[in-house]
Amino acid sequence: GAGVSQSPSNKVTEKGKDVELRCDPISGHTALYWYRQSLGQGLEFLIYFQGNSAPDKSGLPSDRFSAERTGGSVSTLTIQRTQQEDSAVYLCASSLDRGRGLQDTQYFGPGTRLTVL
Amino acid sequence: AQTVTQSQPEMSVQEAETVTLSCTYDTSENNYYLFWYKQPPSRQMILVIRQEAYKQQNATENRFSVNFQKAAKSFSLKISDSQLGDTAMYFCAFMKHGIDGGYNKLIFGAGTRLAVHP
């Protein structure tokens, strides 16, 4: 079946502009995650959504970052007034929550490479 | 707080040989999951293998196997019969066992860049 998709694949913007990154999870997956991968580094958790529960925003680096998930499916990560240090690959993942503390694997999209000039 | 450490920034191996990538982690949790993900130049993160901490048996997936030492908090990945297509960044990741649901954030190591040479 179709995997996690993200758009755009690459985004170049000027410092100070706002950007929106989109994630379309695997159909039926109730959990959705955003991570950031800065050049040559590992992945850093940003935010996750689970069904109708309040999202865990504990990883967002500043109030310029926000995310929403509409209808329990597609998610948009918005970065306002972009800075050069926001340049990174933004990865989205989704997983199927089996409930009762059972975990399932997170499947990743191809990412959006953001470059802030 | 949990941390994941990959002490080998780069590794190289000849095609058809075996290579082992190291990973250690720190946690006070008893129930958790460990993963190895592969990231080729295409950027796509691909799950290689996963291990539930409550299972004593080491996970295997074809040419990939792990050596999970819970007491030592060690989780190494062994790749047998290395292939050119195994060239990629490899990330070790930790996930705490959720209480209310089957989800939680992944905590990643810094990665090991593996090059397989012909």
pLDDT per position as a tens digit, B6-63:
999 999 999 999 999 999 999 988 888 999 999 998 888 999 999 988 888 999 999 9
Residue of B nearest to A10 (CA): B43
> Residue B102 pLDDT > 80, yes or no?
no
CB-based burial label for B80 (10 Å; 0-12, 13-18, 19+): middle
Q: Which two tokens stand for residue B108?
A: 């990643």
Dist CA B60 CA B54 (whole Å): 16
Q: Do B106 and A59 touch (CB under 8 A)?
A: no
Four-residue CA torsion sign, B87, A112, A56, B102: negative
Smallest Cβ distance to A97: which of B50, B99, B102? Answer: B102
Q: For residue B62, what is the DSSP state? A: T
Residue of B nearest to A33 (CA): B105
Q: Which two tokens stand for residue B96?
A: 């705490």
Smallest Cβ distance to A43: which of B100, B103, B108? Answer: B108
Q: What is the mean pLDDT of residues A9-21?
A: 97
Q: Name the band, by pLDDT with cuts 50, 70 and 90, for residue A54.
A: confident
Four-residue CA torsion sign, B99, B103, B104, B107: positive
Residue of A nearest to B51 (CA): A105
Interface membership of A32 toward B (CB under 8 Å): no
Return the residue in A106, A112, A114 with the most chain B beta carbons within 10 A, the one to mutate for interface testing.
Answer: A106
Contacts of A101 in chain B (CB under 8 A): 97-102
> Residue A40 pLDDT > 80, yes or no?
no
Q: What is the mean pLDDT of residues B100-108?
A: 72
Contacts of B33 in chain A (CB under 8 A): 103
Q: Which tens digit of pLDDT belongs to each residue from A17-39?
A: 999 999 999 998 888 999 999 98
Interface membership of A28 toward B (CB under 8 Å): no
Q: Do B102 and A33 touch (CB under 8 A)?
A: no
Return the residue in B52, B89, B103 with the most chain A beta carbons within 10 A, the one to mutate for interface testing.
Answer: B103
